[in-house]
Amino acid sequence: MLKYTLVLSIGIFGSALSAWAQMSSNDLLFENFEFKKFIDAQSSSEITQKLSLQLAQSYYFLNDFENANLYYSKLDWNDENLGLENHLFYANSLKNSGKIQEAQKEVKTYLYYYPKDKDALLLLEQIENYSKLNNYPKAQIILHNLEKLNSPSAQFSPVYKNEKLYFISENGNSTYTNSEVEYTENQENLAYGKVARPETGIYFDNEQMVGESLIQSFEKYNVGAFCWSIVDNLWYLTLTPKATKWGKMHQYAPRIYTWKEGEGIPKKIKIKGVKGGLGVGHPAISEDGKFLVFSLDKGINGSDLYVSSKISDSKWTKPTKLSTQVNTIKDEVFPILDGDSVLYFSSDGKLGFGGLDVFKIAFKEGKTEGESQLLPKPFNSEADDYSVCFKDELKTQGFVVSDRENGMGDADLYFFNSRIPWKLKLEIQNEKGELLTNKEVKIQINGVESNLKRLDSGNFENLELESNSLVSIKLSHEDSLITKDFKLPNTNGKDTSLVVLVWDKKVKLDEIKTNSETGSSVVDLAKKYTFNSVYFDFNKFSIAKTYEQDLLNLVALLKDNPDKQVIVKTLSDERGDIFYNLELTTKRAKEIYAFLVKKGIDPKQIKLQSLGEAVYEEKCSPKCDESIHSKYRRADFEIR
């Protein structure tokens, strides 16, 4: 499990079953954190005190808190062999199920014996804060599990560079196992491994979404969290020598290395004052290459985040511990620097939703400023969440890692996409761009009718609708009742206004705006210069010669109207993986961008919207034939 390799203490967990010394083959599954296999292996077993605790903790670490609560409740809490620390596991499980009063009771039972225990006092504060978080606003994003890249083992530390996603993947356990290794409460997180250390490597996705490996460069190491420096053209990696036998634990402490892709072996960096026995890893480099933020584990109070300044390519100053707005009595790990201004990190020692939560804080010249902010759900959950990585400058798309329930196994990679609402501007025009007077307009959103107010301008008030909403517009025109049903696609963070065009007793929805200053309609410009949508062949992004004249007409419009801007909106058909389709439409948008710039258009006049797969109006979806699919492989153009 990743959480034991790099993140959380296994001291409490390792001692939880110490009273039951006799080991079985199923116990080894439990000790090696293969919880799903362990649960499956117990289907016909007699439920004993020991097995109840094992099942409770197995479900707990799979974030299945309801089942964890079930088995915790079966325990005989008067059993002197049952460690008091299990009250804290049970309390956290109850909290994550929303059972606040029961959770408080369990923590207070533990505090009766250890009233000054910092971890327990923190947990009690987190439990009391949990109800407030129910009112915490949710982020307008959709999460997609990247199932083609994830597996029952851990995938983590996403890095997006040069339109390619790099990540770390566990490849299973090493062949050396010693179940007699003793763990103490000081042997935790970054500094030490687990009974059977997992082997890890760097992978990247290709266009078929199959992980390809760079592991040959790190045959002697296990690879942890890493980052990319655009200034140095270097990878900064957490590397730990692979264990051939278990001896002095400090031999396996991770360190930070640099590596130039395709060039030899990695090189260890030197950080002043950091001794060899300390666990150091999770590097994050500032965009200007001057500052390195990393997690350092001294074996007391978990891992904290530090920052060093660059002296030379391989040497860094004595680290400075970041402020108490970042560091706590528990773990701070997986820092991510967004440019030189924002630091993202994960902590399980602050008031959050549960487990590791992602926070952000302002970062300037090697120092944090102001207060840290908890990222909302669904970035965070009651499980462990970390490693936020953005795909675009607007921060509308990106990746996050989580071991939340219903994933593929251990830590999974998730792709997120924004759901910023559409602005539906009901402006009813004829094909000449003239406003029409209508006796009645009704609109339904997801089956619920909304009343619209006509403004003095003749338009209707704007509505903000969430992406993917089902919308039905009914309006009267020339003594006919016209109905138009449609589904709002994802706008990827861009505000968009829809205009209703009516002619010949039909309705067309168009993403067109009227120039309020001149009164001239953009529809007239489009007619004058006669350009149409550009269509693409299946799985292609090159521009066919058939559509070059349309683009040349668009070039003429933009040159004659330097105050105008074109928004290029690229779509794919619905076949293929959603992430792959987003990549494909990005390539299509960039091809058109390159064509326009080559013909002399100012890049400032061009905006790109890669919308991914289209939402089909045809009822045949998803089993449409090529005549339907081909309609949606296109680029549309909006003039503003």
For position 452, what pLDDT does the model report?
61
State which of 402, 418, 434 marks the end of a domain: 418
For position 94, what pLDDT does the model report?
93
Higher pLDDT, 506 or 389: 389
Query: Would you say 199 and 35 are in contact if contact means Cβ atoms under 8 Å apart?
Result: no
- pLDDT above 50 (res 173): no
How many other C-beta atoms can be found within 10 angstroms of the C-beta atom of residue 610?
22
**Residue 190 and residue 62 share a domain:** no
Instruction: Give the structural domain span for 192.
Output: 141-418
Higher pLDDT, 439 or 190: 439
How far apart (Å, rounded) are the C-alpha atoms in residues 59 and 12?
Answer: 17
- pLDDT above 90 (res 182): no
The pLDDT tens digits for 596-631 are 999 999 988 898 888 887 777 776 765 788 888 888
Q: What is the mean pLDDT of residues 41-48?
A: 82
Confidence band, pLDDT 50/70/90 cuts, at residue 250? very low
- pLDDT above 70 (res 157): yes
Higher pLDDT, 175 or 384: 384
Mapped onto helix, strand or coil, the DSSP state of residue 529 is helix
**Residue 596 and residue 466 share a domain:** no
Mapped onto helix, strand or coil, the DSSP state of residue 412 is strand
Confidence band, pLDDT 50/70/90 cuts, at residue 179? very low
Cα dihedral: 61, 66, 70, 72 (round 10): 40
**Residue 523 and residue 506 share a domain:** no
Look up the CATH number of the domain holding residue 247. 2.120.10.30
For position 299, what pLDDT does the model report?
62
How far apart (Å, rounded) are the C-alpha atoms in residues 507 and 329?
Answer: 62
Mark residue 119 as left, alpha or beta (left: phi above 0; alpha: psi -120 to 50; beta: remaining): alpha
Which of 443, 506, 442, 450 is closest to 480 using CA atoms?
506
Higher pLDDT, 274 or 618: 274
Confidence band, pLDDT 50/70/90 cuts, at residue 335? very high
* 204-218, 384-398, 583-597: range with lowest mean pLDDT: 204-218
Long-range contacts of 105-109 (CB under 8 A, 24+ apart): 109/84
Please tell me the total count of domains within the chain: 4
Rounded to 10°, the helix 49-61/65-73 angle is: 160
**Residue 398 and residue 265 share a domain:** yes
For position 422, what pLDDT does the model report?
61
**Residue 640 and residue 577 share a domain:** yes
Q: What is the reported pTM?
A: 0.65
Distance of CA 599 to CAs 552, 570, 594, 611, Å? 8, 20, 9, 25
Mapped onto helix, strand or coil, the DSSP state of residue 608 is strand
Query: Would you say 470 and 445 are in contact if contact means Cβ atoms under 8 Å apart?
Result: yes
Confidence band, pLDDT 50/70/90 cuts, at residue 77? very high
State which of 418, 436, 456 marks the end of a domain: 418
- pLDDT above 50 (res 185): no
**Residue 323 and residue 269 share a domain:** yes
**Residue 257 and residue 397 share a domain:** yes
Q: What is the mean pLDDT of residues 511-536?
A: 53
- pLDDT above 50 (res 66): yes
Confidence band, pLDDT 50/70/90 cuts, at residue 519? very low
Q: If you average pLDDT over every residue of the chain, what do you get?
A: 77
Look up the CATH number of the domain holding residue 71. 1.25.40.10
* 154-163, 178-187, 318-327: range with lowest mean pLDDT: 178-187
Most confident of 184-188, 336-340, 477-481: 336-340
Confidence band, pLDDT 50/70/90 cuts, at residue 82? confident
* 92-106, 186-200, 263-277, 612-626: range with lowest mean pLDDT: 186-200
Query: Would you say 574 and 622 are in contact if contact means Cβ atoms under 8 Å apart?
Result: yes
**Residue 66 and residue 47 share a domain:** yes
Q: What are the b/e assignments for 132-163, b being 16+ CB within 10 Å?
A: ebeeeeeeebbbebbeebbbebbbbbbbbeee
**Residue 121 and residue 195 share a domain:** no
- pLDDT above 50 (res 518): no
Higher pLDDT, 43 or 250: 43
For position 493, what pLDDT does the model report?
46
- pLDDT above 60 (res 111): yes
- pLDDT above 80 (res 74): yes
Look up the CATH number of the domain holding residue 500. 2.60.40
Tokens found for residue 341: 């201004």
**Residue 539 and residue 436 share a domain:** no
How far apart (Å, rounded) are the C-alpha atoms in residues 40 and 535?
Answer: 51
The pLDDT tens digits for 278-330 are 789 999 999 899 999 999 986 666 889 999 999 987 899 999 999 999 999 88
**Residue 490 and residue 401 share a domain:** no
**Residue 265 and residue 412 share a domain:** yes
Higher pLDDT, 193 or 343: 343
State which of 398, 418, 438 marks the end of a domain: 418
- pLDDT above 90 (res 472): no
Mapped onto helix, strand or coil, the DSSP state of residue 395 is coil
